[in-house]
Amino acid sequence: MKGIIFDLDGVLLSTDQLHYEAWKKIADKLGVPFDKKINDRLRGVSREASLEIVLEKYNGYLSKAEKEDLCNEKNEYYKELLHTLDEDTIDPKVRETLAFLKNKGFRLAVGSSSKNTMTILHRTGLEDYFDAISDGNNISKSKPDPEVFLKAAEYIFLKPEECFVVEDAEAGIDAAVAGGFCPIGIGLAAEYSKTRFPIKDITQLKDIVFLKI
């Protein structure tokens, strides 16, 4: 194994609360219920797919253009909240683990559906750890389609079978499996049946990546 592809949100940091607050504004505007349980279902999926989940209990009709406007409105709320992020947002164990893996010669990439990936990495000081970024700006299909991970592997010049994928969402694990990657699950994904290696803490990667698999 030569490469490790990381999902962003829920793996390297958590912006769940920021997403929740932004989507809650949209849900309140539409008069539909929205809580943390629904927000958990949005993990790892695109903005457009997330909106469809938010709209499940909406009784009205929305055109494609209106839906696009809502997605853009949500993103503007979210981008405002991103200004609260800084280098202190990142758990020191994340930086320590990334530095360790990079020093051991692993090629590191981010594979995220977020179109705000570069902004987040820049504001938190994580961008220099990664050799490549694949995100919502260069894909046409969201997870569980493996496109974002396949492009990440391509960008670091590796085959899927040479890469681990670290994910916190079932949709992300499904994408990793579909693409032929070795899936490592953290958080909720650690309990998913398709996860090859469940971990509770990102520092456990130091041991897993050297296993003969």
When divided into structural domains, the chain yields a total of: 2
**Any domain includes 150:** yes
Phi, psi of 167 (to 5 degrees): -135, 155
pLDDT band at residue 61 under the 50/70/90 scheme: very high
Q: What is the pLDDT of residue 37?
A: 92
Q: What percent of the chain has pLDDT over 90?
A: 85
Active site residue 9: yes
Domain of 32: which CATH number?
1.10.150.240
Q: What is the pLDDT of residue 45?
A: 78
Domain of 142: which CATH number?
3.40.50.1000
Same domain? 107 vs 136: yes
Tell me how far the alpha carbon of residue 79 is from its chain's centroid: 16
Instruction: Give residue-wise pLDDT tens across range 85-118.
Output: 999 999 999 999 999 999 999 999 999 988 899 9
**Any domain includes 213:** no
Instruction: Give residue-wise pLDDT tens across range 165-201.
Output: 999 999 999 999 999 999 999 999 999 999 999 999 9
Find the DSSP H helices in 82-180: 92-103, 117-124, 147-155, 170-179
Same domain? 98 vs 159: yes
Cβ atoms < 10 Å from Cβ of 141: 12
Active site residue 135: no
Look-up of token digits 């994580």: 126
Instruction: Give residue-wise pLDDT tens across range 133-166.
Output: 999 999 989 899 999 999 999 999 999 999 999 9
Element (H, E) at 3: strand 3-6
Same domain? 149 vs 161: yes
- The residue range of the domain holding 105 is 3-14+86-208
Of 84, 108, 129, the residue at which a domain comes to its end is: 84
